[in-house]
Amino acid sequence: MSKSKGLAKNYPKPKRLSFPEDEKETGWLSDLLDSYHTADKAIYELIMKEESKGRKLACARGCSACCSTHVTIPVYPMELLGIYWYVILKAEKEKQKLLKEKLTRFKNSGGCPFLIQGACSIHPMRPLACRHFNVFGKPCAKGEDPYYTRRKDVLTPDESAKNKALAFLLSIHNINDRKEKKEFVNSGQIHSLAKNLQEIEWYKLGARI
């Protein structure tokens, strides 16, 4: 089996998510999906490049170490809208039931509130921070943050593509001019809009399920 086929099995070439009716009804969903697709494509290309050198992506379905150890995950306002939309309108009923229970009693002292039975329950709408974090070599040990224990194994995202993905998130803030978007992102101002996932009042989402 070729390396490209092996990669396609574990990390398939990303396709843009499409919800035509929902996208017509909202003024932000298309931009969010474009943002995620932009990020996913760039990450895929980087992973392809690294695997062509013989490196192996450790991240796979069932691996949720970073979901438990990372407590400073930024979530931007448009991403928060996307999570609400997905959980309330798109998640399966059984998953909604589990999420309602967990979100209602969530406290900012543990891992991600969307980690259900060892898997991401909002995977299609997971934040950019989650999409950009990929690890090569061996799977993470329990409690390990490889960014600090083995930085060389952590994928470094392409900064240009990362900023391009972030720029899509600005339309709900009435920042639509291309130059203005670029300046807002490149200056780092966009990060002032984000909230730490652990500090968001997720019980409010739980109450709406």
> Is 109 within a domain?
yes
Confidence band of 69 (pLDDT split at 50, 70, 90) = confident
> Is 50 within a domain?
no
Q: What are 148-169's pLDDT values in tens digits?
A: 999 999 999 999 999 999 999 9
> Is 106 within a domain?
yes
Task: Tell me the whole-structure pTM to 2 decimals.
Answer: 0.91
Q: What are 81-110's pLDDT values in tens digits?
A: 999 999 999 999 999 999 999 999 887 767
With contact defined as beta carbons under 8 Å apart, do 162 and 88 qualify?
Answer: no
> Is 130 within a domain?
yes
pLDDT at 2: 40
> Is 127 within a domain?
yes
- How many structural domains compose the chain? 1
> Is 4 within a domain?
no
Kindly give the interhelix angle for 77-85 and 29-52, rounded to the nearest 10 degrees.
Answer: 100
Average pLDDT over every residue of 6-32 = 86
Amino acid (one-letter) located at 30: S
> Is 34 within a domain?
no
φ/ψ region of 69 (left if φ > 0, alpha if ψ in -120 to 50, else beta) reads alpha
With contact defined as beta carbons under 8 Å apart, do 44 and 13 qualify?
Answer: yes
> Is 57 within a domain?
no
Q: Cα 37–60–39 angle (5° rounding)?
A: 15
What is the residue range of 95's domain? Answer: 79-209
User: Which residues, in sequence order, are CB contacts of 27 under 8 Å at separation 6+?
Assistant: 171, 172
